[in-house]
């Protein structure tokens, strides 16, 4: 899906103010994609999406819609009105939910990505707490196939499942992965299944989401440029 390194990086705006959003966008001038998640959208709503779009950047709305099909359909319609470029649905919402969402975006640039299993989940949690049997890889593949067959343009998974998914859903389906940490940042915090950005790209990820290694540094511009260099070496 192309070798433009900047198109492969999604900066997660896990921040608490619009001033911080503006700062990151101004410092990471070459970045094309920015993720708006639950924290930021709950606090500021559509205004933060509108601000990012006015800077001619792409918005990845990561709210993991998971509800009855008609409710999700209407939520996707609202996101489409906002000019969002990608958004997440939860694959556990089922085929009918994803099909309704796909009906809304057909003929538009908006792309739907289905979340499989969160990168924070361990296999023990998946089996014993949530009650889904099987190893994580098997469950991710099953959910990904369901989502793609129902109309999702791509999937979100941990780096550990990239190769499994490439083998099972093909090369034309978008794979986006969080849970990456650059070679110069080994702090995984609450993510259980991680990998370096370069490794993720080599395995077949189309886009990676990265937040803390860029946001928490004194010089986000330098951190972003180091990430670009790491990915260029991987291509």
Q: pLDDT tens, 102-120?
A: 999 999 999 999 999 887 8
- The number of beta carbons lying within 10 Å of the beta carbon of residue 218 is 6
- pLDDT of amino acid 193: 46
- pLDDT of amino acid 158: 85
Q: Tell me: the pLDDT tens digits for 23-48? A: 999 999 999 999 999 999 999 999 99
- pLDDT of amino acid 188: 47
**How far apart, in whole angstroms, are the C-alpha atoms of residue 7 and residue 234?**
15
Catalytic residue check, 54 = no
Entry pTM = 0.92
**How far apart, in whole angstroms, are the C-alpha atoms of residue 117 and residue 168?**
16
Q: Rounded to a whole number, what is the largest CA-CA distance in the chain? A: 46
Residue 167 has pLDDT above 70, yes or no: yes
- The single residue of 8, 53, 57, 64 carrying the catalytic annotation is 64
**How far apart, in whole angstroms, are the C-alpha atoms of residue 174 and residue 204?**
9
What domains sit in the chain, N to C, each tagged with a CATH number?
A: 5-234 (3.20.20.70)
Q: Tell me: the pLDDT tens digits for 179-222? A: 788 876 655 454 444 688 999 999 999 999 999 999 988 899 99
* Residues near 174 by beta carbon (within 8 Å), at least 6 away in sequence: 1, 111, 113, 153, 154, 155, 206, 207
């Amino acid at each position: 899906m192309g070798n433009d390194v900047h198109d492969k990086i999604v900066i997660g705006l896990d921040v608490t103010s619009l001033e911080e959003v503006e700062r990151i966008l101004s410092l990471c001038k070459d970045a094309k994609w920015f993720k708006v998640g639950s924290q930021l959208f709950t606090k500021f709503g559509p205004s933060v999406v509108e601000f990012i779009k006015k800077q001619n950047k792409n918005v990845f709305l990561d709210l993991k819609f998971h509800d009855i099909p008609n409710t999700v359909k209407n939520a996707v319609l609202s996101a489409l009105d906002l000019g969002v470029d990608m958004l997440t649905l939860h694959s556990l919402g089922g085929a009918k939910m994803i099909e309704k969402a796909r009906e809304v975006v057909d003929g538009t640039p908006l792309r739907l990505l289905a979340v499989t299993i969160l990168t924070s989940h361990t296999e023990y949690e998946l089996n014993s707490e949530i009650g889904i049997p099987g190893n994580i890889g098997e469950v991710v593949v099953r959910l990904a196939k369901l989502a793609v067959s129902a109309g999702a343009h791509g999937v979100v998974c941990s780096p550990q499942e990239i190769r499994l998914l490439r083998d099972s859903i093909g090369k034309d389906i978008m794979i986006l992965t969080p849970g990456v940490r650059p070679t110069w940042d080994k702090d995984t915090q609450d993510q259980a299944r991680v990998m370096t950005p370069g490794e993720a790209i080599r395995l077949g990820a189309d886009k990676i989401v990265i937040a803390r290694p860029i946001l928490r540094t004194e010089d986000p511009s330098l951190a972003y440029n180091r990430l670009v260099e790491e990915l260029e070496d991987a291509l």
